[in-house]
Amino acid sequence: MNLKAVRGMHDLFGPELVAWKKVESRIHSILSAFGFDEIRTPVLEHVEVFKQSVGDDSEIVEKQMYEVLERGPTADGKAAEKLVLRPEGTAAFARAVLEHGLHRTGHIGRYYYSLPMFRHERPQKGRLRQFHQVGAEIINSTAPETDAELLVLIDHLFREIGIQEFTLRINSLGTAAARAQFAEALKKFMAPHLSSIDEVVRAKLQRAPLRILDTKDPSLLEIVRNAPTIGEFLEPQSRQHFETICSRLTALGVPFVIDPLIVRGLDYYSETAFEVTSNALGSQSALGAGGRYDGLAERFGASPIPGIGWAIGLERVMLVLGTQLATEAHGPLAFLAPIGPAAFELLLSKSLEMKKSGLRTEISYERDKGLKWHLKQADRLNAQWAILVGDSELSSGLAQAKNLRTGDQQTVPIDKIQDFLHQEFQKT
C-alpha cells in the first residue's frame, strides 16, 4: 500500500503552515486595501474553460491537466463528461464573471483569489503538481493606469511581505494582428537555424512561434536573443499604451526592465505581459506573472470584456522567505501545570474559560506528574509561559508564572491568571 502523498503534492503543517498563514494574511490585507474582493471558484471545471482560453496547444492544455471522469452518463444520456482540476485561475475567473454577469456593473471590478492549482509537471524545487496561487484580476478597464496599478500592487506586495530582491520584467504583445506579423518575421529569422534546433522546438515554431521565446535552453536562447522583437511590429495604439505604463511606473518609482522575451505561454494574453523573477529561486525563477487578456471573453463566445491580472506562486514566495520565517516561534501562550488532583480540577475549568476568551493555553490531562515533567511538556510545546499550581499555591492563592523565554518567575493571584495572560497576549 502506498501511503505517501501524491508526487509533487505536499502536506502543510506546523511552523511551516504558521509562516504560510502569516504571509497569506498579509497578502489578503494588502489586496483588500487596494480594493480587491475575494472570489473562490471550484476545483473542478469543464475542460472547455481552459481549452477555449489558455489554448489547445499550450503546455497546460496539451500535457499538464489532471482529468476527472464524471460518474455515469449525463442526464441526456451522453457519455460521462471529463472534468479537469483547475490548472490556473484566470480562465476559471473569466468563466465565473460571465456566468454571474460580474462585468455588468458598469464600473471597474477588482477581484482576487487564493487557491490551489494542479498541473502534471515534472516536480523539482519550486515546481509542484499541486501548488497555490494568489491572483489579482481587474475587469472593465482598458486604461493603461489599470496596468500600472496592478504592477504597483505586485511590486508593493512583494516588498511588504519581505521580498526585496526581484525584477519586474514587462513587455507588450500588441494586438493579434501585430503578433501574426511578428510570428511570420520570427519564422523567417529562424529558417537558417532549423537544422540546429530540436524537433519539439521546430514543431512549436510552426504552431505557436512566439512560445519559442519562452525557452530556457541556453543554445536556443543565444539564437533568439538576436531575433526581431515584437516591439518592431506594435501598432501606434499599443505602443502608446505601453509607453504610458512605463512612464507611470517610472514616475511612481517602481523599478522594471523591458524584456522582449516575455511572451507568456497562454493564448489569451494581448498587449501588456509581465513576469517577476528572483535570483534566489534557481531555474524556476518566476515568482509571479500576468498580463492583459482583453480578448478572453470572446474566446468563450461572449462580447469583449477588458481584463488584466497576475498570479503569484505561494510555494516560491515561501521558498524565498522560508528560512527567515520558519524558525519563528509557534506554540501556546501558556502551559497550565497542575501538581495534584485539586489543582488539576481548578486549572482544567480555567483552561477552558481561557480558550473561550481567545487565549491559546494547554493543559495536560495527567494529574499525578511533578513539576519537572510539566516544565518539560511546556518546553516541548514551545509555550511562552508555564503556570504552576500545586498544594502550596492553592493554599496561598498565588500561582507561579514562569516565563519560558527568559526564565523569570513571578507570582500571580490564581483568580487573576486569565487577566495576566491577556495582558501578556497583548504584548505578542
Number of C-beta neighbours around residue 350 at 10 A: 22
Cβ proximity of 275 and 289 under 8 Å: yes
Quick one: cell of 199?
A: 524537433
Nearer to ligand AMP, 231 or 265 (CB): 265
Q: Output the smallest distance, CB 269 to ligand AMP, in A.
A: 10
By CB under 6 A, residue 137 contacts ligand AMP: no
E-only strand ranges, 316-425: 334-338, 361-363, 385-389, 398-403, 409-413
Q: Output the smallest distance, CB 17 to ligand AMP, in A.
A: 17
Q: How far, in Å, are 89, 130, 211, 266 from residue 49 at the CA level?
A: 11, 19, 21, 13
Q: Output the smallest distance, CB 140 to ligand AMP, in A.
A: 22
Task: Find residue 168's DSSP bridge partners.
Answer: 276
Site for ligand AMP in 73-132 (CB under 6 A): 88, 119, 121, 126-128, 131
Nearer to ligand AMP, 81 or 214 (CB): 214
**CA 189, CA 359: separation in Å to the nearest integer?**
67
Nearer to ligand AMP, 115 or 334 (CB): 115
State the DSSP code for 142. Answer: -
Site for ligand AMP in 283-342 (CB under 6 A): 286-289, 311-313, 315-316
CA-based radius of gyration for the chain: 28
Q: Output the smallest distance, CB 63 to ligand AMP, in A.
A: 13
Nearer to ligand AMP, 126 or 306 (CB): 126
Cβ proximity of 243 and 256 under 8 Å: no
Q: Output the smallest distance, CB 160 to ligand AMP, in A.
A: 17
Bridging pattern class, strands 307-313 and 334-338: unpaired
Nearer to ligand AMP, 121 or 217 (CB): 121
Q: Output the smallest distance, CB 158 to ligand AMP, in A.
A: 11
Q: Output the smallest distance, CB 61 to ligand AMP, in A.
A: 12
Residue nearest to ligand AMP (CB): 313
Q: Output the smallest distance, CB 26 to ligand AMP, in A.
A: 17
Cβ proximity of 300 and 311 under 8 Å: no
Nearer to ligand AMP, 190 or 311 (CB): 311
Helix, strand, or coil (residue 223)? helix
By CB under 6 A, residue 133 contacts ligand AMP: yes
Q: Output the smallest distance, CB 386 to ligand AMP, in A.
A: 41
Quick one: cell of 268?
A: 489569451
**CA 158, CA 290: separation in Å to the nearest integer?**
15
Nearer to ligand AMP, 133 or 146 (CB): 133
Q: Which stretch binds ligand AMP (CB under 6 A): 199-207, 281-289, 334-342, 349-357?
A: 281-289
By CB under 6 A, residue 53 contacts ligand AMP: no
Nearer to ligand AMP, 306 or 313 (CB): 313
The b-or-e profile of 289-316 (16+ CB within 10 A means b, else e) is bbbbbbbbbebbeeeebbbbbbbbbbbb
Nearer to ligand AMP, 52 or 133 (CB): 133
- In the chain, % helix, strand, coil (3-state, to 5) comes to 45, 20, 35
Nearer to ligand AMP, 45 or 315 (CB): 315
Nearer to ligand AMP, 271 or 393 (CB): 271
Contact mark string toward ligand AMP, 357..396, x via CB under 6 A: ----------------------------------------
Those residues whose C-beta lies under 8 Å from the C-beta of residue 192, and which sit 6 or more positions away, are none
Tell me, by CB under 6 A, how many residues bind ligand AMP.
17
Number of C-beta neighbours around residue 258 at 10 A: 13
Q: Output the smallest distance, CB 302 to ligand AMP, in A.
A: 22
Instruction: Give how far the C-alpha of residue 94 lies from the chain's centroid of Cα atoms, to the nearest Å.
Output: 18
* Closest C-alpha among 245, 73, 228, 103 to residue 169: 245
Tally of helices (H runs) and strands (E runs) in the chain: 15, 16
Q: Which stretch binds ligand AMP (CB under 6 A): 142-150, 249-257, 280-288, 383-391?
A: 280-288
Q: Output the smallest distance, CB 291 to ligand AMP, in A.
A: 9
| Residue 215 backbone phi and psi in degrees, to 5 | -65, 150
Binding site for ligand AMP (CB under 6 A): 88, 119, 121, 126-128, 131, 133, 286-289, 311-313, 315-316
